Amino acid sequence: MSLLQQFPGPVIEVPQWISGAGDPRNAVHIVLAVTDPSNPSAHKRHSLVLVDPKAKGVEVVRPMTVFGFDDAPEGHCEMRYRDVKLDVESAVVGGKAGLGMGFPVSWVSDLLPIYLGIQD
Protein backbone atom coordinates (compact mmCIF):
# COMPACT_ATOMS: atom_id res chain seq x y z
CA MET A 1 0.00 0.00 0.00
CA SER A 2 1.23 3.49 -0.70
CA LEU A 3 0.69 6.96 0.62
CA LEU A 4 -0.10 9.97 -1.54
CA GLN A 5 1.35 13.05 0.16
CA GLN A 6 -0.42 16.41 0.41
CA PHE A 7 -3.52 15.25 -1.44
CA PRO A 8 -5.28 16.93 -3.19
CA GLY A 9 -1.87 18.49 -3.81
CA PRO A 10 0.52 17.83 -6.63
CA VAL A 11 3.03 15.28 -5.30
CA ILE A 12 3.25 11.49 -5.02
CA GLU A 13 6.05 9.83 -2.99
CA VAL A 14 5.72 6.04 -2.84
CA PRO A 15 7.45 2.72 -3.45
CA GLN A 16 5.37 0.34 -5.56
CA TRP A 17 5.51 -3.07 -7.25
CA ILE A 18 3.94 -3.06 -10.71
CA SER A 19 3.35 -5.80 -13.27
CA GLY A 20 4.63 -4.87 -16.72
CA ALA A 21 6.28 -1.68 -15.50
CA GLY A 22 9.52 -2.44 -17.33
CA ASP A 23 7.87 -2.75 -20.74
CA PRO A 24 8.80 0.29 -22.88
CA ARG A 25 5.33 0.14 -24.52
CA ASN A 26 3.71 0.83 -21.13
CA ALA A 27 2.06 4.26 -21.37
CA VAL A 28 0.65 4.56 -17.85
CA HIS A 29 1.12 3.16 -14.35
CA ILE A 30 -2.05 2.67 -12.31
CA VAL A 31 -1.14 3.16 -8.64
CA LEU A 32 -3.50 2.34 -5.77
CA ALA A 33 -2.66 5.00 -3.19
CA VAL A 34 -3.97 5.89 0.25
CA THR A 35 -5.38 9.40 -0.13
CA ASP A 36 -7.54 9.62 3.00
CA PRO A 37 -5.85 7.64 5.81
CA SER A 38 -8.22 9.01 8.46
CA ASN A 39 -11.43 7.88 6.71
CA PRO A 40 -13.34 5.58 9.10
CA SER A 41 -14.13 3.22 6.21
CA ALA A 42 -11.07 1.21 5.18
CA HIS A 43 -12.68 0.84 1.73
CA LYS A 44 -12.81 4.61 1.14
CA ARG A 45 -9.19 5.48 1.94
CA HIS A 46 -7.71 4.64 -1.48
CA SER A 47 -7.70 6.24 -4.91
CA LEU A 48 -6.44 4.99 -8.27
CA VAL A 49 -3.81 7.36 -9.62
CA LEU A 50 -2.54 7.41 -13.20
CA VAL A 51 1.18 8.14 -13.51
CA ASP A 52 3.18 8.70 -16.69
CA PRO A 53 6.10 6.22 -16.51
CA LYS A 54 8.33 8.77 -18.27
CA ALA A 55 7.55 11.54 -15.76
CA LYS A 56 10.37 13.12 -13.78
CA GLY A 57 10.84 11.20 -10.52
CA VAL A 58 9.64 7.79 -11.79
CA GLU A 59 12.40 5.23 -11.30
CA VAL A 60 12.69 1.49 -11.95
CA VAL A 61 14.48 0.20 -8.84
CA ARG A 62 14.88 -3.38 -10.04
CA PRO A 63 13.18 -6.07 -12.11
CA MET A 64 11.62 -8.88 -10.08
CA THR A 65 10.99 -12.58 -10.50
CA VAL A 66 7.52 -14.12 -10.22
CA PHE A 67 7.22 -17.63 -8.81
CA GLY A 68 10.92 -18.04 -9.51
CA PHE A 69 10.68 -17.02 -13.17
CA ASP A 70 12.64 -14.06 -14.47
CA ASP A 71 10.50 -11.96 -16.80
CA ALA A 72 12.85 -8.96 -16.84
CA PRO A 73 13.09 -6.39 -18.12
CA GLU A 74 9.48 -6.17 -19.38
CA GLY A 75 7.75 -7.82 -16.43
CA HIS A 76 7.24 -7.07 -12.78
CA CYS A 77 9.35 -4.26 -11.35
CA GLU A 78 9.86 -2.46 -8.10
CA MET A 79 9.21 1.21 -8.81
CA ARG A 80 9.94 4.35 -6.85
CA TYR A 81 8.03 7.60 -7.32
CA ARG A 82 9.89 10.63 -5.95
CA ASP A 83 8.26 14.04 -6.02
CA VAL A 84 6.15 13.14 -9.09
CA LYS A 85 3.88 16.06 -9.93
CA LEU A 86 0.20 15.23 -10.43
CA ASP A 87 -3.00 17.01 -11.43
CA VAL A 88 -6.02 15.81 -9.44
CA GLU A 89 -8.49 16.04 -12.32
CA SER A 90 -6.36 14.16 -14.83
CA ALA A 91 -4.33 11.87 -12.55
CA VAL A 92 -7.03 10.47 -10.26
CA VAL A 93 -9.31 7.93 -11.94
CA GLY A 94 -12.68 9.72 -11.94
CA GLY A 95 -11.18 13.14 -11.08
CA LYS A 96 -12.14 14.62 -7.71
CA ALA A 97 -15.21 12.36 -7.64
CA GLY A 98 -12.85 9.36 -7.77
CA LEU A 99 -11.11 10.25 -4.50
CA GLY A 100 -11.66 7.38 -2.10
CA MET A 101 -13.09 5.13 -4.84
CA GLY A 102 -9.87 3.23 -5.66
CA PHE A 103 -10.72 0.06 -3.76
CA PRO A 104 -14.22 -0.53 -5.20
CA VAL A 105 -13.18 0.49 -8.73
CA SER A 106 -10.17 -1.83 -8.67
CA TRP A 107 -12.41 -4.75 -7.71
CA VAL A 108 -15.07 -3.95 -10.29
CA SER A 109 -12.87 -4.06 -13.38
CA ASP A 110 -15.84 -3.69 -15.73
CA LEU A 111 -16.28 -0.12 -14.46
CA LEU A 112 -12.64 0.90 -14.94
CA PRO A 113 -13.07 1.84 -18.64
CA ILE A 114 -16.00 4.09 -17.67
CA TYR A 115 -13.91 5.86 -15.00
CA LEU A 116 -11.06 6.22 -17.51
CA GLY A 117 -13.45 7.65 -20.08
CA ILE A 118 -12.95 4.74 -22.48
CA GLN A 119 -16.32 3.61 -23.79
CA ASP A 120 -17.36 1.57 -26.82
In a domain, 106, yes or no: yes
In a domain, 109, yes or no: yes
pLDDT of 118 reads 60
Average pLDDT over residues 86-110: 78
Range(s) of the domain holding residue 86: 2-114
Total residue length of the chain: 120
pLDDT of 116 reads 62
In a domain, 17, yes or no: yes
Max mean pLDDT range (8-12, 76-80, 105-109): 76-80
Q: How many structural domains are present in the chain? A: 1
Please report, rounded to a whole number, the percentage of residues in the chain having pLDDT higher than 90: 1
In a domain, 120, yes or no: no
In a domain, 87, yes or no: yes
In a domain, 35, yes or no: yes
Q: What is the CATH number of the domain that holds 86?
A: 2.40.110.10
Instruction: Dump pLDDT digits (tens) for 101-112.
Output: 888 777 766 665
In a domain, 76, yes or no: yes
Instruction: Dump pLDDT digits (tens) for 31-56.
Output: 888 888 888 998 888 888 888 899 88
The pTM of this model reads 0.73
Above 60 in pLDDT, residue 61? Answer: yes
In a domain, 119, yes or no: no
pLDDT of 40 reads 93
pLDDT of 10 reads 47
**HSE-up of 25 (CA within 13 Å, CB side)?**
3
Q: 67-95 burial by CB neighbour count: b if 16+ within 10 A, else e?
A: eeeebeeebbbebebeebebebeebbbbe
Please report, rounded to a whole number, the percentage of residues in the chain having pLDDT higher than 70: 77
